[in-house]
């Protein structure tokens, strides 16, 4: 389970550095589980910004929406620490794609957390699913290792 920084960087071309905050800890003296989904969101939005997904939302009203998500906690995160949150696209579907996430702790020199999400493209005016375009698929593939 322990992975080095080099392994993390080889697996995740898109990642965000996030310093943990004291206020994110809970009564059990570790980072509260809710925050992990925010960390995944930060990486997800970073990746979307590197593709045409955010532009499409603004111009056409068609964009991504989170359909489901999960998190597997392997090691507790504790303040102070800086984490790297990686995201990559692992599968493509007719109306969306699957994301994989990993959190690497600088303090622990290990990957501590893994996650997955299903993203669906939606027309925000009609509230209906939209098919993936070849352009979006190619942009997402470009961001994978």
Q: What is the pLDDT of residues 8-22, one digit of tens each?
A: 999 999 999 999 999
**Which CATH number do you get for residue 105?**
3.10.129.10
Give the mean pLDDT of 40-67. 94
Answer whether residue 85 shows pLDDT above 90: yes
Q: The domain containing residue 115 runs over which residues? A: 5-142
> Which CB contacts under 8 angstroms, 24+ apart, belong to 43-47?
43/14, 43/15, 43/16, 43/85, 43/86, 43/87, 43/101, 44/87, 44/99, 44/101, 44/117, 44/119, 46/14, 46/15, 46/16, 46/87, 47/14, 47/87, 47/89, 47/99, 47/140, 47/143
Note the pLDDT of residue 108.
Answer: 96
pLDDT exceeds cutoff 80 at 2: no
Read off the pTM.
Answer: 0.95
Q: What percent of the chain has pLDDT over 90?
A: 92
Q: Helix, strand or coil for residue 127? A: coil
Using pLDDT thresholds of 50, 70 and 90, give the confidence band for residue 83.
very high
Give the pLDDT of residue 89: 98
- In this prediction, residue 75 carries a pLDDT of 97
**pLDDT, mean of residues 72-97:** 98
> How many structural domains is the chain composed of?
1
The model's pLDDT over 126-143, given as tens digits with 9 standing for 90+, comes to 999 999 999 999 999 999
């Amino acid at each position: 389970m322990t992975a080095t920084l080099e392994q993390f960087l080889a697996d995740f071309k898109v990642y965000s550095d996030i310093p943990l905050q004291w206020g994110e800890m809970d009564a059990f003296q570790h980072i509260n589980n809710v925050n992990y989904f925010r960390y995944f969101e930060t990486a997800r939005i970073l990746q979307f910004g590197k593709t045409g997904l955010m532009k499409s939302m603004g111009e056409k009203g068609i964009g991504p929406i989170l359909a489901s998500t999960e998190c597997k906690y392997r090691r507790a995160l504790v303040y102070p620490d800086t984490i790297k949150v990686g995201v990559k696209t692992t599968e493509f579907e007719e109306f969306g794609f699957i994301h994989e996430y990993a959190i690497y702790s600088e303090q622990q020199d290990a990957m501590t957390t893994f996650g997955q999400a299903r993203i669906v493209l939606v027309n925000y005016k009609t509230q209906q699913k939209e098919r993936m375009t070849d352009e979006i698929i190619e942009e997402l593939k470009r961001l994978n290792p």
